[in-house]
Amino acid sequence: MTWMQVEEYLTRDDRCVVPLGCTEQHAYLSLTTDNTLADRVATEAAEPLGIPVFPVVPYGITPYFMDYPGTVTVSPVTYERLLLEILGSVRRHGFKRIIVVNGHGGNAPARPATEAWASRRKGVRLRWHDWWRAPRTRASIDAIDPDASHASWMESYPWTRVQGVEPPEGHKARTRGMTGDESSPARFREVLGDGSMGGFYERGAEETLALWRVAVEETREIMTDGW
């Protein structure tokens, strides 16, 4: 869109979407998996509604994966400040219903600050949506593989796979008890090995694309229902 198109859109609607991702190891998947998924689920959900989607914020909070080359992290303080300045920008132009579509669990520490920011500004409403944790999406995952987690089949799509890279076959037991606050990057790599946190590495296209449809539909409902 041009700025003129955004200006015209704001005469009839005040919704926008801000996707959040990160750049971090995803085992045999792309380092940009969380960016790609957040951007794509937001765009597919918003397109039929005509709601503009801003570019995905490509870096997040992921210090625990810093022993995996290619991972990029920022501090929680830096990330929170960045998000608040982005939200301030979109509000200045007239966006008052803001949907944050988050693709990375490590970004969660910034959520309270964004919600508090919105609550202090008259007429502004903000919804933070962790797309992969949404109730129907997670239920669809659990129906196939309750162990599915970071870098498993639930994030493996044609748009997150790397050409020429073949993941292992089979299932990896879910890694439990690992948190960023308790473990060093070296410990994370020691325990996780290839970087997957559990679940099947891949499932059939029919199952994964069915899951994706649920995620898109559930994300679209966040954009439309109950404002």
Looking at the predicted structure, is the pLDDT value of residue 50 above 70?
Answer: yes
Query: Is residue 23, in this structure, part of any structural domain at all?
Result: yes
How many independent structural domains does the chain possess? Answer: 1
CA distance 104 to 194: 19
Burial class (CB in 10 A: 0-12, 13-18, 19+), 79: buried
**Could you read off the pLDDT of 171-226 as tens digits, one per residue?**
999 987 666 655 799 999 999 999 999 999 999 999 999 999 999 999 999 999 99
Q: Find the domain containing 66 and state its range.
A: 12-221
pLDDT of residue 186: 94
The pTM score is 0.96
pLDDT of residue 7: 98
Query: Is residue 7, in this structure, part of any structural domain at all?
Result: no
pLDDT of residue 183: 74
Query: Is residue 3, in this structure, part of any structural domain at all?
Result: no
Residues 6+ apart with CB under 8 A from 2: none
Report whether 101 contacts 17 (CB < 8 A): yes
pLDDT of residue 95: 98
Report whether 93 contacts 11 (CB < 8 A): no
Query: Is residue 6, in this structure, part of any structural domain at all?
Result: no
Query: Is residue 1, in this structure, part of any structural domain at all?
Result: no
Looking at the predicted structure, is the pLDDT value of residue 62 above 90?
Answer: yes
Looking at the predicted structure, is the pLDDT value of residue 53 above 90?
Answer: yes
pLDDT of residue 182: 58
* Residue 70 structure tokens: 């290619």
Closest CA to 24 of 166, 197, 209: 197
Query: Is residue 38, in this structure, part of any structural domain at all?
Result: yes
CATH number, position 108: 3.40.50.10310
CA distance 187 to 182: 10
pLDDT of residue 179: 65
Buried b (16+ CB within 10 A) or exposed e, 138-153: bebbeebbebbbbbbb
Query: Is residue 56, in this structure, part of any structural domain at all?
Result: yes
Query: Is residue 141, in this structure, part of any structural domain at all?
Result: yes
**Could you read off the pLDDT of 81-139 as tens digits, one per residue?**
999 999 999 999 999 999 999 999 999 999 999 999 999 999 999 999 999 999 999 99
pLDDT of residue 26: 98
Measured CA distances, 60 to 27, 32, 118, 145, 191 (Å):
18, 11, 21, 27, 22
Can you tell me the mean pLDDT for 57-63?
Answer: 98
pLDDT of residue 44: 98
Closest CA to 27 of 165, 137, 132: 165
